[in-house]
């Protein structure tokens, strides 16, 4: 006599990101990639020659994509859930002792070596630092991009400095994006975080391990 195999219940998942947060994240990423592709077309010598007379139109399209990259995610929050935006900004801006210790240990490679790290909230110190850097870079893109679009009416020295800073920001943004993507795809908790950013939920095991303070609040 045989008995049916018992199937354990799937691991519970906790609600982590609301729909507006996920839409804002992927909207920003999409416009960033489009703006990056257009920027590369104007930067690579061969494609720059190929564009020829269309370069000005591509430049304006590149600037438009960069502006939408910043404006659309903000509008999504402002028109749907301002309180969630304010809450996220507050959480990212608030650094307690555990955050500071976590950050400096992470810089020394403790996360890679899987050494003990202080408990973290909904966002760990690395995610907070990443959000601050991305916001600062987005502002830098808007300012330098606006100066470049207005180049014919501005002094040459200002335009050349704006172009240099814009290129430095682009290189830094690509490095940050590649690192972010590699982390999301190469680690189990990164893949679970990616799933949270697509489906909205995170496994309880990852939440307990990586965001213990937030996990405890979720469990009361």
Rounded to the nearest 10 degrees, the angle between the axes of helix 19-43 and helix 188-199 is 110
In a domain, 121, yes or no: yes
**Looking at the predicted structure, is the pLDDT value of residue 14 above 70?**
yes
Both structure tokens of 27:
């909207």
Q: Is position 85 within any domain?
A: yes
**Cβ distance 169 to 137 under 8 Å?**
yes
141 sits in which H/E element? helix 125-149
What is the pLDDT at residue 21?
97
The helix-helix angle for 97-107 and 125-149 (nearest 10°) equals 80
What local confidence, expressed as pLDDT, does residue 70 receive? 95
- Looking at residue 103, which CATH number applies to its domain? 1.20.950.20
Cα three-residue angle 25-130-188, rounded to 5 degrees: 75
Residue 6 lies in a domain: no
Instruction: Flag whether 1 is in a domain.
Output: no
Domain enclosing residue 21, as ranges: 13-218
- Residue pLDDT, tens place only, 175-194: 999 999 999 999 999 999 99
- So what's the pLDDT on residue 10? 53
Q: How far apart, in whole angstroms, are the C-alpha atoms of residue 130 and residue 176?
A: 8
Residue 4: inside a domain, yes or no? Answer: no
Q: What is the tally of structural domains in the chain?
A: 1
Q: What is the Cα gyration radius of the chain?
A: 21
For residue range 35-68, what is the model confidence (pLDDT) as tens digits? 999 999 999 989 988 888 888 899 999 999 999 9
Q: Reply yes or no on whether the pLDDT at 3 is more than 70.
A: no
Q: What does the pLDDT look like over 69-88, one tens digit per residue?
A: 999 999 999 999 999 999 99
- At 112, is the pLDDT very low, low, confident or very high (cuts 50, 70, 90)? confident
Percent of the chain whose pLDDT exceeds 90: 83
8 in a structural domain: no
3 part of a folded domain: no
Task: Note the pLDDT tens digit of each residue in 133-176.
Answer: 999 999 999 999 999 999 999 999 999 999 999 999 999 999 99
pLDDT of 118 higher than 60: yes
Q: Does the structure show a pLDDT above 90 at 114?
A: no
């Amino acid at each position: 006599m045989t008995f049916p195999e018992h199937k354990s219940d799937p691991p519970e998942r906790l609600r982590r990101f609301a729909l507006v947060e996920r839409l804002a994240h992927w909207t920003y990423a999409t416009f960033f990639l489009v703006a990056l592709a257009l920027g590369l077309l104007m930067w690579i010598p061969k494609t720059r020659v190929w564009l020829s007379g269309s370069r000005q139109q591509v430049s304006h399209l590149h600037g438009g994509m960069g502006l939408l990259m910043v404006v659309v995610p903000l509008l999504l929050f402002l028109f749907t859930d301002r309180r969630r935006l304010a809450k996220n900004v507050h959480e990212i801006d608030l650094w307690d002792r555990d955050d500071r210790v976590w950050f400096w240990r992470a810089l020394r490679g403790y996360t890679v070596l899987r050494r003990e790290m202080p408990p973290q909230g909904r966002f760990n110190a690395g995610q907070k630092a990443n959000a601050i850097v991305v916001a600062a870079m987005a502002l830098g893109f808007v300012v330098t991009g606006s100066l470049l679009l207005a180049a014919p009416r501005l002094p040459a020295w200002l335009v050349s400095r704006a172009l240099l800073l814009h290129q430095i920001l682009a290189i830094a943004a690509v490095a940050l994006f590649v690192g972010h993507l590699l982390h999301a795809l190469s680690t189990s908790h990164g893949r679970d975080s990616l799933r949270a950013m697509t489906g909205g939920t995170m496994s309880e095991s990852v939440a307990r391990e990586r965001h213990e303070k937030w996990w405890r609040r979720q469990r009361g």
